[in-house]
Structure formats: structure tokens, C-alpha cells
Structure 1
């Protein structure tokens, strides 16, 4: 571990029950999400408008995430540095019996002031351990928007691209991006 990594090594915790997601934690998660979306991040929920967004617009989506938390089905993983939220993601198990051995990773994000410090990579490493050892998952999947370099980030973390839906995401008129499907065998 380098000195840079030691100074900024995040603490990774998880929340797997709605009652453990306090109002303060929900507010921090929503504020991070708002900042990431407004900076061009690819974590816009399906029922929200395109940026710019405000925290109140995202609060219903955050409440749905929190209500769905369950140790075997859905967990929030949070990265903190010196007590401040540095990033988070959602790990959830597919519900249909045919794919219940698979998990989905959503909303991977690093707070703007912690970018470039390895927060996202630390979250992804921890996610694989939680998925395999605590949730008994065998495979993970995620979707990433092209044009942001996300596929390179995930490849470095061991993920494999398994398909693309060309031009599926319209960020703005004339700015269509591929939806990139990726998988990781645990």
C-alpha cells in the first residue's frame, strides 16, 4: 500500500436493513447522488429527469432503495474517508429463481471531492467479497454508459463486457451512447 492509499483508504460498511439507513445517511447518499448526476455521472434513476437534478427529486428513488434493503436481497455499500461519505453502490440479488445466483450492481459512484483516490476500486473489491461470501452469489452484472471511460474502469476491476446496445441512451439531442452490459464471475 502506498502512502497515498494509506491516507485515503476508505472504510467500507454496508447497510442491509431499512431501519439502519438513518435520515442522516439517506441525506448524505442523496446529496452524493445529486452531485454525481449533475457532474455528468451515469447514475440517473429511470424515473428522474436528466440533469440538473436536486436532492428532493432523488429522495423518492432513495426511499425505494432503502425500503428494498434485505440481508439476502439488497445491500448498500458505503465508502467513507475520515467519517465523510466518499462513495456508495447498491448490490442486489436477482429475484427470479432462474437467476437467483446472480447479483446486480447499481449506482456505483464516488463523491466528487474523493475522485481519483481509489474509492470506486475499493468499493468494487469489497462488493465481490460481500456478494460471494455473504450473499452466496456466483456472478455479478452491471450496465455502464459509454463515453465516460467506465468500461475501462470495470475491466481493470476484472469485469468482462458481454454486450452493447448501440445508441440506447440519449444523453442529449444528438448525443446517443451505448448501454454496455458487463459481468463478473465470482
Structure 2
């Protein structure tokens, strides 16, 4: 889908229990993550290799995420356009007792077919309300890969850069990137 095409506004769904994830949604999550990773997206995770990746690589990591869903500790937020998964993210409460008032946003993804349509921004605009109103969180954090303009994307949505871990992410031999730490007060 090209950015110039007319697209309906995304519809959002939130999942907070593993049993809510249908086999079809699981396949769409895996397909999205595979496509995004293979296109150079910054959503790599422990558990599978650097691109190119296959559904066989991504599936077990998606399953771990699904099994971690819980109304108090972890939510999956999905954006769909005309019934097709367009993007998703994970919102988690930090489990440590000193910071249970804080949450973390992970795996923010827009399927490559829906890039440039504002899906990622729409997902990120929904997160603060869910975190604050439904999970009782007071602050959110996320980590982003330098070199892709992600810090500017998140800053436009109200997030503040609070630090960097220089050279922490080795994308490829000779291509080390900073990990950018960002925060949002709710």
C-alpha cells in the first residue's frame, strides 16, 4: 500500500491475555515482524538472528511475548486497516518493586505495506492513555536505535531523550549504533 493511497483510519484492539491471540493474529504478528526486520527495521530481539529472518526464527519470540500478556503486566496493542494488521507494539509494567509505577514500550512496528500512513504514530498516541488509565502507570520508557531518525519521531510525540548507550547495538560488522533511551511522563 503506497503512502498516496486513501486509507481508512486504523482500528485498534488491545490484548491482555494469551488466550485472546488467535492463530490468525499470531501469523499476522510473525509476518509483520519478519517483513519489518528484513526491511531493516529496528525491532530485532533476543532469540532470533540478524536479518534475513524467517517465520521459523520469529515465531518462538512472538510466542514468548504472547505468553507474557497479563492485564496488570503486559498488553499487546494492534492497529488494523480494513481488517489487516498494520502495526503493533507491546506495553509492559516493570516488574521490579521500586519501579512498578513505570512501564516500557517495546517492539513498535508498522508493517512494510503500511509505512508512511501514520500507523506508528497512531499506536504511540494510544499508549499513554492505556498506560495511565488502565494500568495505573506514571512513566513510560523505551529504547530506540540511533541512525534511523527514531528519536525525532518519538520526540514529536512528547517523548524526551534521557540518555544514550554509545555503540551498544551492533547492526552489522562495523556498524555500531547508539541505543537511545527515551521517557514519557504520564
Give TM-score, length-normalised by structure 1.
Answer: 0.96
Cα shift at 1:174 = 1.0
Q: Which residue of 1 aligns with 2:67?
A: 67
Q: CA RMSD in A?
A: 1.3
d(CA) in 1 for partners of 2:8 and 2:139?
Answer: 29
| Distance (whole Å) between structure 2 residues aligned to residue 97 and residue 182 of structure 1 | 21
Equivalence map 1:80-159=2 (5 Å): 80-159=80-159
Give the structure 2 partner of residue 35 of structure 1.
35
Q: Deviations over 1:37-74 (max 9, x none)?
A: 00001111112110000011111111110111001100
Q: CA deviation at 1:182?
A: 0.3
For residues 113 and 61 of structure 1, the distance between their equivalents in structure 2, rounded to whole angstroms, comes to: 22
In structure 2, do the counterparts of structure 1 residues 162 and 5 end up closer, same or farther at CA, with 3 Å as the change threshold? farther
Query: How far is 1:7 from its partner?
Result: 3.7
Indicate if the aligned counterparts of 1:5 and 1:117 stay in contact, CA closer than 8 A.
Answer: no
CA spacing shift, 1:123–1:5, aligned 2, 3 Å: farther
Distance 2:60 2:84 in 1: 23
- Structure 1 residue 5, shift from structure 2 partner: 11
Match of 1:108, SS state, is strand
Structure 1 contact 8–117 (Cα < 8 Å) conserved:
no
CA deviation after TM superposition for structure 1 residue 6, in Å: 8.3
Gaps of 5+ in 1: none
1:131-161 deviation per Cα after TM superposition (whole angstroms, max 9, x unaligned) = 0100010000000000111111000010000
Inter-partner Cα distance in structure 1 for 2:178 and 2:57: 26
User: Which residue does the alignment assign to 1:79?
Assistant: 79
Secondary structure of 2:126's aligned partner: helix
Q: Which runs of 4+ in 1 moved over 4 A?
A: none
**What does 1:2-13 correspond to in 2, within 5 Å?**
7-13=7-13
Q: How many residues are treated as equivalent by the alignment?
A: 183
Q: Is the partner of 1:45 in helix, strand or coil?
A: coil
1:165: how far off?
A: 0.6
